[in-house]
Amino acid sequence: MDVRRRPPMRSVRQSSTTSAGEPPVKHLKPSDALPLPLYLTNGIFFALFFSVAYFLLHRWREKIRTSTPLHVLTLSEIAAIVSMLASVIYLLGFFGVDFVQSLVTRPSGDVWDAEDEPHGAILEEDSRPGPCAAAIDCCPPPKVADVAPVTVFSSEEEEEMIRSVVAGSVPSYLLESKLGDCKRAAAIRREALQRTTGRSLAGLPLDGFDYEAILGQCCEMPVGYVQIPVGIAGPLLLDGREYWVPMATTEGCLVASTNRGCKAIFTCGGASSMVLRDRMTRAPVVRFPTASRAADLKLFVEDPINFDTLAVVFNRSSRFARLQGIHCAIAGKNLYMRFGCSTGDAMGMNMVSKGVQNVLDFLQTDFPDMDVIGISGNFCSDKKPAAVNWIEGRGKSVVCEAIIGDEVVRKVLKTSVAALVELNMLKNLTGSAVAGALGGFNAHASNIVSAVYIATGQDPAQNVESSHCITMMEAVNDGKDLHISVTMPSIEVGTVGGGTQLASQSACLNLLGVKGASKESPGSNSRLLATIVAGSVLAGELSLMSAIAAGQLVKSHLKYNRSSRDVSKIAS
């Protein structure tokens, strides 16, 4: 089944304004070059063709009757033949090319009509000198229509399903189970959405994605997927090994800058890292009739005598979940118990939640007056800035350091050790203190964390606490060299579960040598990934801080982060 749309022939020409209310864009067609209206020109050439054909046939019949050789031509006959050729060429050019084009485009149903794709404009743009002018792949992306044209689906059954979804008689979320085919379900949902909203999804691809892989795990009610380019920074020389770091981003400069940091680190012998703690957390909130009862439970769960029993109950959730400790906080009658556990190579939110549920069920027997308000009481704390993560850590706590020689600081980073140390003190430490920062004592850790997270299938929302980072810089070796470190207490990463198993993300994990579960030592892949994240942040910090110290930031962003293409042209 092909569910892609083919816009109606005249959709672009007919619209008098764009959806945004902008003035209409006039796309020139070959027929615009004719001196007369199209119907008149066509009429003249048709009339010419038939009258000349009639005249010639008449003349040839006369010649046959009078036994005159056919090749002996009078002036009027020559003129008639020339006129006939001219009209044939015109009519073939007008109708024949359209017919052939429709034959070529119709079978896939995916190709825009010649009139919808303003080739004239494309050719004009591509006529600039340079490699793009010649390369067909370099054509600007197809124009995305604002208004969704209605597709007629091939099978009546599918058409019926789309109409039912639009009418609301079939819930969109049931399509996968009803059809038993995730791709078809996505296609039908997408078409129903376009018809309901009247808006086109033309730029959002549907094909080329495994919709079965996300079912029940990664995304509900899919209608396509967003493409994000992946750049490579590296080699990052970390703990004696080289890594090529995939970064999914649309921010120009980011990969280039991180790459420069990697180069500086590499030239100086590499960075080294340590995982200080590996502990995912979940903190339910429970309520008691009195504050003293809440205190009773706090004392119970924090008593080392009870730890082994609680750990056995907790660890039943998974062979990889291992309870490490419970840290409690009280607010009146309410108790918040922050469970911390190792989770193998999984980021671990599911695992720790299951373990917590086991313990709550167990505690209910001895504390029947305990009212479980929520499995998560925000003392965890997941996807929100919170001091508890900054101080206690969540996920992997990592420190990473490097010494950058003064020559590399000068030649690669184009600044000086003294300038970097001073900027770090006034910006990352003092400036962030002035701003009341929470874990934000760095230049742009979240830039690198987000890009690596998206590329490797991590939960990008955990960028909030995963980007907590304090960057330290100090002059060492008699003030000649730079000691730089990043300390990141809450890097939440996994190499199994969630988005890590999807094809693209899995390929990026594979590139780093941390794909899937570690056979030898469960948890070592995710810990290694956390150190790579920290090492990449170190490179990013080094490079951006240098650019700021050297006053290059604005210049390089203007070069890499601003398109030279005329945005108004693209928008139209």
Active-site annotation holds for 159: no
Catalytic residue among 116, 278, 345, 459, which?
459
Which of these segments, 20-28, 121-129, 516-524, 564-572, binds ligand ADP (CB under 6 A)?
516-524
Q: Which of 317, 318, 463, 467 binds ligand ADP (CB under 6 A)?
A: 318
Catalytic residue among 354, 383, 414, 483, which?
383
Query: Tokens 């094909």, residue?
Result: 207
| 494 interacts with ligand ADP by CB under 6 A | yes
**Does the N-terminal peptide bond of residue 381 adopt cis geometry, omega within 30 degrees of 0?**
yes
Q: Which is nearer to ligand ADP, 355 or 405 (CB)?
A: 355
Q: Which of 522, 550, 552, 553 binds ligand ADP (CB under 6 A)?
A: 522
DSSP line for 456-511: HT--GGGHHHHT-EEEEEEEETTTTEEEEEEEEEEE---SBSGGGGSHHHHHHHHH
Q: Which two tokens stand for residue 337?
A: 């118990």
55 and 20 in contact (C-beta within 8 Å)?
Answer: no
* Residue number of the CB atom closest to ligand ADP: 344
Query: Tokens 């934000």, residue?
Result: 440
Q: Which two tokens stand for residue 185?
A: 């379900």
Active-site annotation holds for 22: no
Q: Which is nearer to ligand ADP, 64 or 312 (CB)?
A: 312
Least Å from the CB of residue 97 to ligand ADP = 56
- DSSP 8-state code for residue 137: G
Q: Is the dihedral of CA 496, 497, 498, 504 positive or negative?
A: positive
Three-state DSSP string of 151-213: CCCCCHHHHHHHHHHHHCCCCHHHHHHHHCCHHHHHHHHHHHHHHHHCECCCCCCCCCCCCHH
| 349 interacts with ligand ADP by CB under 6 A | yes
Active-site annotation holds for 119: no
Q: Which of 355, 498, 535, 540 binds ligand ADP (CB under 6 A)?
A: 498
- Beta bridge pairs of residue 374: 285
| 192 interacts with ligand ADP by CB under 6 A | no
Q: Which is nearer to ligand ADP, 424 or 501 (CB)?
A: 501
Least Å from the CB of residue 312 to ligand ADP = 18
3-state secondary structure of 525: helix
Measured CA angle at 297 (ends 292, 300), to 5 deg: 125
Which of these segments, 38-46, 49-57, 339-347, 417-425, binds ligand ADP (CB under 6 A)?
339-347
| 497 interacts with ligand ADP by CB under 6 A | yes
- DSSP 8-state code for residue 140: P
Which of these segments, 250-258, 436-444, 472-480, 492-500, binds ligand ADP (CB under 6 A)?
492-500
# residues near ligand ADP by CB under 6 A = 18
Alpha-carbon gap, residue 175 to 316, rounded angstroms: 36
Active-site annotation holds for 396: no
Catalytic residue among 251, 296, 401, 406, which?
251
Q: Which is nearer to ligand ADP, 348 or 440 (CB)?
A: 348
Q: Which of 192, 351, 482, 532 binds ligand ADP (CB under 6 A)?
A: 351
Q: Which is nearer to ligand ADP, 497 or 540 (CB)?
A: 497
Q: Which of 288, 320, 367, 390 binds ligand ADP (CB under 6 A)?
A: 320
Which of these segments, 289-297, 366-374, 472-480, 496-504, binds ligand ADP (CB under 6 A)?
496-504
Measured CA angle at 448 (ends 222, 532), to 5 deg: 100
Three-state DSSP string of 318-365: CCCCEEEEEEEEEECCEEEEEEEEECCCECCHHHHHHHHHHHHHHHHH
Least Å from the CB of residue 231 to ligand ADP = 26
Q: Containing H/E element for 248?
A: strand 241-248
Q: Which of 517, 552, 557, 560 binds ligand ADP (CB under 6 A)?
A: 517
| 348 interacts with ligand ADP by CB under 6 A | yes
Q: Which is nearer to ligand ADP, 290 or 521 (CB)?
A: 521
From residue 306, give the alpha-carbon distance in Å to each of 118, 297, 302, 343, 395: 74, 11, 8, 21, 24
Question: Annotated active-site positions, please?
Answer: 251, 383, 459, 557
List of residues contacting ligand ADP (CB under 6 A): 318, 320, 343-351, 494, 496-498, 517-518, 522
